[in-house]
Amino acid sequence: MARAMPLGLGRSGIAFLVIVAAAGVLVPFLNLATPVDSPWHVPTTTVVLFGKYLCFALLALSIDLVWGYCGILSLGHGAFFALGGYAMGMHLMREIGSRGVYGNPVLPDFMVFLNWKELPWYWYGFDQFWFAAIMALLVPGALAFVFGAFAFRSRVTGVYLSIITQAMTFALMLAFFRNDMGLGGNNGLTDFKDVLGFDLQQNATRCGLFALSAAALAAGFLVCRAIVSSKLGKVLVAVRDAESRTRFIGYRVEHFKLFVFTVSAMMAGLAGALYVPQVGIINPGEFAPANSIEAVIWVAVGGRGTLVGAALGARGRQRRQELVHRGASRALAVRARRAVHFRHAVPAEGAARPGRYPPRQAPGAAGGDAGPARNGR
């Protein structure tokens, strides 16, 4: 039965939480406590990779909240993710202190060689972790709030909203590319050394970040769950179905939209903040509209309106991208292979896993666990 669940979790939800929690504990454990040659050992590469996926999953979750349940197709969520990432990146940058190549205790390297004399005001405070952590939520949240307040009040909907969110992230990308922004321009922020005193190149730190990401994903999932299974969630779905009808029974649609949009942006910001220390770089490329579109697509693959699906969709993403790229470059590869015997350093099963398309047929035939059926609107 496809009705929204009461505040409980549902079977798939519990299973998902168990898996995330288990991964959050097991992966770090197997990485740290087993010897490298043990069959149980999880290589660091995998920890980093999966940590990244967890962050993407959280991002996908945040998109699913606004798209799956409220019908807001945001093509700019990558911007919130990136802003969260930048907030964390700025802190990590300050943490480097005088260990930078120029040894300047205050200015990050890129400022030194571009001749900046003093730290711009917006860098103040980022030497404190707590400040950066708050900013990672607050900046995306505030942007979403302001942006949403305007857009929803003006009743910008549908593709118009999608495209202006895209314009937003595109504008931010161009702005962050500018070196004058004082955020590292195209190269972005890199060369991080440690976070809260833990060396980022230590496996223990990586595992800690991994566990933290798992926890964040679980928490995000619970928050989303709580939202969508409350009456508010029902209002959101109603808005998605028939926005003006919802107004006529007295709900202030723009407030509801603004609320989820902001919450969702903050979740995306959190995802970004966890992502950056794990991959070690944040640059304006993360604002690229294509990134946001990709993120939306994980949701599509996982199944719109099913939170679990969205989170899972994020995992398949990289595979798929490789597949698409490789599929067509095979011709090149074959030619090259003839020349030298080399092989692609990709797992052999790479070709076997197609993205999970939710097969939806005739109206009414859909169903799924928590997914409200969609009637072409």
Ligand X SMILES: Nc1ncnc2c1ncn2[C@@H]1O[C@H](COP(=O)(O)OP(=O)(O)OP(=O)(O)O)[C@@H](O)[C@H]1O
Restricted to residues 336-375, the positions that interact with ligand X (CB under 6 A) are 363-364
Using left for φ > 0, alpha for ψ between -120 and 50, and beta otherwise, residue 216 falls in alpha
Which contacts qualify for 26-30: CB closer than 8 Å, 24 or more apart?
27/207, 27/210, 28/207, 28/208, 28/210, 28/211
Query: Which residue, among 22, 103, 16, has the nearest Cα to 61 in the 3D structure?
Result: 16
Residues 287 and 166: beta-carbon distance below 8 Å: no
Q: Which is nearer to other proteins, 131 or 251 (CB)?
A: 251
From 20-28, 99-107, 119-127, 133-141, span contacting other proteins (CB under 8 A): 99-107
Task: Please tell me the count of residues contacting other proteins according to CB under 8 A.
Answer: 132
User: From ligand X, other proteins, none, which one binds at residue 117 (CB under 5 to 8 Å depending on kind)?
Assistant: none
State in angstroms the smallest separation of the CB of 124 from other proteins. Answer: 21
Query: Judged by CB under 8 A, which of 52, 94, 225, 317 binds other proteins?
Result: 52
Instruction: Transcribe 255-295 into DSSP letters.
Output: HHHHHHHHHHHHHHHHHHHHHHHHHS-B-GGGG-HHHHHHH
Q: Which two tokens stand for residue 6?
A: 């009461």
State in angstroms the smallest separation of the CB of 245 from ligand X. Answer: 17
From 9-17, 22-30, 122-130, 228-236, span contacting other proteins (CB under 8 A): 228-236
Q: Which is nearer to ligand X, 25 or 373 (CB)?
A: 373
Query: Judged by CB under 8 A, which of 8, 146, 252, 350 binds other proteins?
Result: 252
H runs (alpha helix) in 10-76 = 11-33, 44-68
Q: Which residue is nearest to ligand X (CB)?
A: 364
State in angstroms the smallest separation of the CB of 1 from ligand X. Answer: 14
Give the integer Cα–Cα distance in Å for 54 and 204: 17
Residue 195: enclosing H or E segment and its boundaries?
A: strand 194-195
Q: Which is nearer to ligand X, 6 or 364 (CB)?
A: 364
Query: Judged by CB under 8 A, which of 17, 41, 44, 119 binds other proteins?
Result: 44
Query: Judged by CB under 8 A, which of 259, 351, 356, 369 binds other proteins?
Result: 259
State in angstroms the smallest separation of the CB of 25 from other proteins. Answer: 23
* Residue 295 neighbours by CB distance under 10 Å: 26
Residue with tokens 């059926």: 373
* 35 binds other proteins per the rule CB under 8 A: no
Task: Please tell me the count of residues contacting ligand X according to CB under 6 A.
Answer: 2
Give the integer Cα–Cα distance in Å for 333 and 329: 6
State in angstroms the smallest separation of the CB of 362 from ligand X. Answer: 9
User: From other proteins, ligand X, none, which one binds at residue 168 (CB under 5 to 8 Å depending on kind)?
Assistant: other proteins
Q: Which residues bind ligand X (CB under 6 A)?
A: 363-364
